[in-house]
Amino acid sequence: MAQQKTEKIRQQELRQPDAFQKAGADARDWLMQRQKFLAIGAGVLVLGAVGVAIASEVSKRGEEQASMALGQALTVLDRPVTGVDPVDPSATEPPFATVQARDEEVVKQLAAFRKEHGGTRSATTAALPQAKAEFRLGKNDDALASLEVFLKDAPENDALRASALEGQGYAYEAKGDYAKAITSFEAMEKADTGEYLVGMGAYHKARMLILQGKKDEAAQVLSKIPTDHPNSAAARQATERMAVLAAEGVKVPTPAPPAATATDAGQP
């Protein structure tokens, strides 16, 4: 009886999977599940790559559309002002009655453009001409807000950054905040100004120092410009300003001669 029972149990155990079989089955199930997950994951990656490509293409098209729309919005700057600009016989729109009217339309058009195309590079660029029009209208706080957007979103190496910093300095100057204007003009001097604005950051800083009554310090700043930026517009204006200060009795340092170039030194 006991032997029969033992044999029955043994048969039952034989019919059951042993530990290795169970482990193998579990592993197989895990691998099958894993393969499903890997397949799903691969699919997600593929879909993700496709999604990125689509998003990139949509973004590219959005930027292209925004760029064209900005060009259209900026045509308002080409419309002449009666008595100021020559009349274009081929113009399809009437001239503006005043410069103020044109600036008001510039602000209106560009504000609407930026709202519609927010987040695009063109919207960032549009903030600069809008700020300049706002400044001309005497809306210094609005101009500063627009310039802040441009300076925050534009690349550090943007060719227009120096112009934006100059505009920011002008707006602070108009508000009588010469200290903040100096900060803007110092940043302008460090930016890539290009040939036209080279040295102008230092020149504007000197102007602010004069307005603060710090004429001796201003003379020091001005005296370095012809040396650091010879033959530039800033150097010529600095020389003229130093002559005025000297006439007022301010002791103006003699500018050091510009550093000799390799050609001047007789080097190849």
CATH number of the domain to which 218 belongs = 1.25.40.10
Residue 2 has pLDDT above 60, yes or no: no
In a domain, residue 213? The reply is yes
Query: Global pTM?
Result: 0.71
Arithmetic mean of pLDDT over the chain: 80
Note the pLDDT of residue 75.
Answer: 86
In a domain, residue 3? The reply is no
Find the Cα–Cα–Cα–Cα dihedral 126, 128, 132, 138, rounded to 10°.
Answer: 90
In a domain, residue 31? The reply is no
Q: How far apart are CA 80 and CA 98, in angstroms?
A: 9
Task: Answer yes or no: do 108 and 142 share one domain.
Answer: yes
Choice between 257 and 38, residue whose per-residue pLDDT is larger: 257
Tell me which residue range forms the domain holding 138: 64-86+94-154
pLDDT single digits (tens) 127-156? 999 999 999 999 999 999 999 999 999 998
In a domain, residue 189? The reply is yes
Q: Please give the tally of structural domains in the chain.
A: 2
Note the pLDDT of residue 189.
Answer: 94
In a domain, residue 29? The reply is no
Task: Answer yes or no: do 250 and 205 share one domain.
Answer: yes
Task: Answer yes or no: do 243 and 197 share one domain.
Answer: yes
Task: Answer yes or no: do 68 and 140 share one domain.
Answer: yes
Share of the chain above pLDDT 90, in %: 54
Note the pLDDT of residue 93.
Answer: 86
pLDDT single digits (tens) 20-51? 434 344 444 444 454 444 444 445 444 444 33
Task: Answer yes or no: do 191 and 253 share one domain.
Answer: yes
Task: Answer yes or no: do 72 and 150 share one domain.
Answer: yes
Task: Answer yes or no: do 231 and 183 share one domain.
Answer: yes
Note the pLDDT of residue 56.
Answer: 43
